[in-house]
């Protein structure tokens, strides 16, 4: 008989610690709603003690999410536990996730505590947390480099104090799959059967997914993952890869999950849209090349029978082939039907915004592809108040003249503001013109551009990262005109920065 394991998603907490992957409150709520739609069992919403913004995000997610648990991370201190419990006060099903390091190197150089002091802290902290929340998860940080007998003792004490889930972490991605299998087997044999063993792996040596699967085979009943594998350094265990490995090789693992696999691609795309971090083309399961075949031998095999070179179908993860041609004469209902087929469930207001963008794009492109639609949905997934909106622009550039740009922005009050600037190229000139209008002193940290689809009329996607006094802001713009997409991305980032400053 198959076991069902829980998927603990830490995209909003551990994943957000990945450089360039920070999210504002609205974006975290949008991502949390999609994770709920995906069917994860637990959403780790953040680390409330880390900052007021993290506390607010955990509190907001806890209030919104109803069909899965919401967890908050805290250190083994009373102040951290109180703060996390406060953030989770309105959660339908809260979980306190408390951690302390158990490896010799961490205890000596980071905690500066003796092993006995660590054990005492575990006992008192778990017991205190258990008095505030019925569901407590204890995490042994750097468990894979801990003394095995000491780790067992620490986990036994946590279980006796009231922790129902015990989390084993490969914090620095050091372990090999066979080591993880042996460790989890040993712990499963010696720990009470009524506790749930959880596994949390990092990908520093490229073994996070393999280590997680090994732990599940050995008896772990919860896997901690992030969408697209984002996270500190080389990242975390990729949720979509673990889920589809279990799904595709069900006869090998005999393990099920509660994940709705047809929402995997949609979830991956949304995260990429929010953070501005593209999914690598060769990424398993959700990458652009995952179901592409260039080799003639492979193409011939797939045409005869897809199973020759495809072990799972694109539809299983939510990648659908066009069944309906959409263009400038297509109506709102046709677009709505296509979005539903692709796994999108959006509000009527959101659909209106997408349809408006769709009609504008259809005037420039003869045929709208699924990837165009995904980009349109993503561009309005987390609507923001627009302090500025692009109205018109004119750019002159060439090999014998300096690039100049005239940009006109419409303000919230309906007033137009226009400025001209010169630059090293048309995009640099346009950005300088915008800077002269908004007068905020932001600096461009990163600029990237990619084609959403193929062809001369392809929709271009531009992502810019602006450095402000309060951190780094990601902006995104779409258009068949790359300069227009660039200006829209820059204005989008400016609007986000202004809103963030007003909220502080």
Q: What is d(CA 285, CA 66) in angstroms, rounded to the nearest whole number?
A: 28
Where does the pLDDT of residue 309 fall: very low under 50, low under 70, confident under 90, or very high at 90 and above?
low
SS (H, E, C) 330-382: CCHHHHHHHHHHCCCCCCHHHHHHHHHHHHHHHCCCCCECHHHHHHHHHHCCC
Q: Could you tell me the two tokens for 125?
A: 């902290």
CATH number of 3-275: 3.20.20.70
**What pLDDT is stored for residue 410 in this prediction?**
95
Asked whether the predicted pLDDT for residue 152 surpasses 80, the reply is: yes
The mean-pLDDT minimum among 81-85, 132-136, 266-270 falls in: 266-270
Does the CA dihedral 362-364-368-370 come out positive or negative? negative
User: What pLDDT is stored for residue 220 in this prediction?
Assistant: 98
Close Cβ partners of 31 (under 8 Å, ≥ 6 residues apart): 11, 12, 23, 270, 271, 274
Enclosing H/E stretch for 421: strand 416-423
Higher pLDDT, 100 or 358: 100
Indicate the range of 56-70, 189-203, 292-306 predicted with least confidence.
292-306
pLDDT over 80 (residue 151): yes
Helix (H) or strand (E) holding 146: none
Integer Cα distance of 1 and 486 in angstroms: 54
Structure-model confidence comparison of residues 496 and 406, the more confident one: 406
Q: Name 450's bridge partners.
A: 461
Asked if residue 30 lies in contact with residue 274, where contact means CB atoms within 8 angstroms, the answer is yes
Task: Specify the CATH number of the domain 388-503.
Answer: 3.30.160.270
Return the axis-axis angle of helices 208-217 and 239-248, rounded to nearest 10°.
Answer: 50
Non-local (6+) Cβ contacts of 65 within 8 A are 32, 33, 36, 43, 91, 92
User: In this model, does residue 433 exceed pLDDT 70?
Assistant: yes
**Position with higher pLDDT, 448 vs 373:** 448
Mean pLDDT (whole number) for 437-456? 83
Average pLDDT in the chain? 89
Residue 168: pLDDT over 60: yes
Percent of the chain at pLDDT exceeding 70: 91
Return the structure tokens found at 232: 């500190």
- pLDDT (tens digit, 9 = 90+) per residue, 126-139? 999 999 999 999 99
pLDDT digits (tens, 9 = 90+) for 350-397: 788 888 878 888 887 767 777 778 777 766 555 567 899 999 999 999
**Region 450-468 average pLDDT:** 76
Statement: residue 302 has pLDDT above 60: no
Domain residue ranges of the chain, discontinuous segments joined by +: 3-275, 296-379, 388-503
Name the E strands within 218-296: 222-225, 255-256
Q: Which of 152-166, 297-311, 379-393 has the lowest mean pLDDT?
A: 297-311
Is 288 a residue whose pLDDT tops 60? Answer: yes
Q: What is the pLDDT of residue 298?
A: 46
0.85 cut: is pTM over it? Answer: no
Q: Give tens-digit pLDDT for 396-432.
A: 998 888 899 999 999 989 999 999 999 999 999 999 9
């Amino acid at each position: 008989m198959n076991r069902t394991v829980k998927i603990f998603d830490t995209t909003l907490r551990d994943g957000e610690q990945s450089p360039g992957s920070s999210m504002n409150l609205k974006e975290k709520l949008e991502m949390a709603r999609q994770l709920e739609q995906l069917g994860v069992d637990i959403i780790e919403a953040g680390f409330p003690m880390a900052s007021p913004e993290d506390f607010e995000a955990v509190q907001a997610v806890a209030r919104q999410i109803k069909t899965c648990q919401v967890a908050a991370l805290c250190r083994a201190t009373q102040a951290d536990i109180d703060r996390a419990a406060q953030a989770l006060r309105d959660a339908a099903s809260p979980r306190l996730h408390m951690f302390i390091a158990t490896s010799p190197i961490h205890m000596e150089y980071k905690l500066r505590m003796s092993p006995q002091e660590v054990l005492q802290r575990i006992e008192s902290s778990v017991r205190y947390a258990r008095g505030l929340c019925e569901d407590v998860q204890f995490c042994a940080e750097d468990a894979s480099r801990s003394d095995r007998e000491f780790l067992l003792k620490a986990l036994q004490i946590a279980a006796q104090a009231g922790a129902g889930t015990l989390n084993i972490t490969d914090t620095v991605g050091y372990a090999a799959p066979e080591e993880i299998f042996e460790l989890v087997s040993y712990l499963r044999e010696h720990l009470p059967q009524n506790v749930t063993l959880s596994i949390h792996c990092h990908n520093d040596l490229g073994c996070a997914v393999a280590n997680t699967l090994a732990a599940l085979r050995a008896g772990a009943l919860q896997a901690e993952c992030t969408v697209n594998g984002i996270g500190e350094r080389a990242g975390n265990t990729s949720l979509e890869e673990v889920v589809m490995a279990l799904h595709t090789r069900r006869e090998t693992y005999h393990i099920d999950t509660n994940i709705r696999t047809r929402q995997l691609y949609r979830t991956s795309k949304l995260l990429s849209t929010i953070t501005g971090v593209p999914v690598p083309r060769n990424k398993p399961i959700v990458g652009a090349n995952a179901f592409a075949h260039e080799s003639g031998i492979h193409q011939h095999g797939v045409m005869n029978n897809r199973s020759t070179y495809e072990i799972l179908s694109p539809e299983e993860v939510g990648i659908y082939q066009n069944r309906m041609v959409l263009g400038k004469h297509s109506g709102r209902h046709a677009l709505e039907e296509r979005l539903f087929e692709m796994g999108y469930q959006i509000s009527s207001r959101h659909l209106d915004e997408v349809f408006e963008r769709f009609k504008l794009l259809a005037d420039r492109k003869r045929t709208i592809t699924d990837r165009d639609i995904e980009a349109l949905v993503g561009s309005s997934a987390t609507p923001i108040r627009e302090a500025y909106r692009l109205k018109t622009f004119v750019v002159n550039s060439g090999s014998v003249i300096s690039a100049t740009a005239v940009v006109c922005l419409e303000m919230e009050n309906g007033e137009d503001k226009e400025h001209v600037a010169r630059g090293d190229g048309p995009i640099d000139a346009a950005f300088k013109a915008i800077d002269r209008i908004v007068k905020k002193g932001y600096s461009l940290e990163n600029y990237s551009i990619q084609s959403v689809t193929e062809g001369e009329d392809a929709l271009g996607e531009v992502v810019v990262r602006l450095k402000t006094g309060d951190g780094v802001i990601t902006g995104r713009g779409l258009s068949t005109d790359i300069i227009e997409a660039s200006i829209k991305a820059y204005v989008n980032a400016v609007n986000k920065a202004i809103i963030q400053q007003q909220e502080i």
